[in-house]
């Protein structure tokens, strides 16, 4: 599984990254978490509100800091 955090690096993006890392750790799954900070790349995803979260290349959330539990639910879908 590939999880991407889309955002230019503000505190909200960092919090979302931390929550995603915690979700992956609790679920004990193999996942690659990476940050997309390039604004052109972010807009290529159609994202206009950050932070956003993409799973395996598909944006599943934008404009909010999902909690660890929210991210776990998304991963388990």
Rounded to whole angstroms, the Cα distance separating 64 from 51 reads 6
Q: With CB under 8 A, what is the number of residues at the site for another protein?
A: 24
Residue 17 binds another protein (CB under 8 A): no
Residue 24 binds another protein (CB under 8 A): no
Rounded to whole angstroms, the Cα distance separating 39 from 77 reads 28
* Range in contact with another protein (rule: CB under 8 A) among 21-29, 54-62, 67-75: 54-62
**Which parts of this chain interact with another protein (CB under 8 A)?**
7-13, 39, 42, 45-52, 58-64
């Amino acid at each position: 599984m590939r999880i991407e955090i889309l955002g230019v690096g503000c505190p909200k993006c960092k919090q979302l990254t931390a929550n995603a890392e915690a979700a992956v750790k609790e679920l004990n799954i193999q996942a690659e978490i990476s940050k997309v900070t390039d604004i052109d790349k972010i807009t290529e995803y159609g994202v206009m509100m950050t932070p956003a979260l993409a799973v395996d290349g598909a944006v599943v959330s934008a404009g909010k800091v999902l909690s660890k539990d929210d991210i776990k639910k998304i991963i388990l879908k």
